[in-house]
Amino acid sequence: QLRPALAVLLVVGLLLAWSWAPLRSSPELAPAASSTKPAIASDLALAGGPGARRAGRRRRKTAPQHPITIAESVALLESVDLFVFDCDGVIWRGDTLIEGIKETLEALRRLGKRLVFVTNNSTRSRKQYAEKFRKLGLEWVTEENIFASSFAAAAYLKAKGFDKKAYVIGEDGILGELEAAGIRHLGGPADAARKVDLASGGNTSVQVDPDVGAVIVGFDRHFNYYKLQYATKCLREVPGCIFVATNRDAVTHLTADDEWAGGGSMVAAVSAASQREPVLVGKPAQFMTEFLASEYGVPPERMCMVGDRLDTDIIFGQAGGMRTVLVLSGVTSEATLHSKSNLVFPDYYAPSLVSLRPQSPVAKL
């Protein structure tokens, strides 16, 4: 079991090293890119940093032609010690556990596999995510098994010795992790009802706190024009203000039936308005791979990333040297995987995580 204090210290140290990686030199001071290349191409570049040099070992040149077979599943289970799971679209949709997931995870645990959950969703803190797992019947999942982008954002600032205030476009998950890290903050849900009155024309101005030294943008169900203007002014007018993005996921699953605009849409708005590019702390950024390898003593080639997104989960796993499995229970369809425009190919794909369940109709030991 992870010791929370040591785990935080290890992540902080890795984040500090990662934030100075040559491939990402001072991104908080760089102007926004004007490229119109596909989002996946951008995410391939964002996956740079520690672990990126291993990418060639795990990157396929073509998509697998069929879902994972029984023989392939058996071979995968024998070659993997640690599974890294995305949550939304893999474990659950909205607040509904995907059918067969509980039994599959329990079967993998009985085989002695280590299971870790890495999510780009910043709306909850690790403590809140552990409570969600408990409510869904997965009581054995604790905070130490969870790495959320809300935690990563706070750890990144702490690694830099940040001592100012952070303005937050996001929800309680980010605020909770900032408080746990001892970082002052403003914004978030408190600004949900704030409005900009443009009726007075030139007499209207949003005044920012001069002690703000960072803007953190994550998924925010109460994103509004005031928040956009406040963040923009901080990034444009406050010298050295750091721009942190929890993720760039274009869509997310808030409910079981629909896809909704994701945190990446909020990040894109702030980036466009401020003409700044953020530091990305969620997937596919690579420091988490190094953290897992160090904490669990498992080399990346004995890890497997299971996710529903090509542009974050699969790129994250490939850049770190992991095996990768795309599940079709989330945002990516089989047609998208095999489309001519797709540039990212997992090692395997499956209808859902249940395909990896030992002695299931799909995968049998």
Q: Which residues are catalytic?
A: 81
Q: Give the sheet arrangement for strand 185-187, strand by strand.
A: 185-187, 165-169, 212-217, 242-245, 279-280
CA distances from 128 to 67, 149, 330 (A): 34, 13, 22
Q: Phi/psi at 195 (nearest 5 deg)?
A: -130, 155
3-state secondary structure of 83: strand
Q: Supply 202's token pair.
A: 């030139």
3-state secondary structure of 325: strand
Q: Supply 354's token pair.
A: 């249940």
- In the DSSP assignment, the letter for residue 329 is T
Residue with token string 């409910």? 255
Residue with token string 């910043």? 122
What distance in Å separates the CA atoms of residue 115 and residue 137, rounded to the nearest whole number? 16
Rg (the chain; Cα; Å): 20
Which distant-in-sequence residues (6+ apart) come within 8 Å of 230 by Cβ? 167, 187, 191, 206, 208
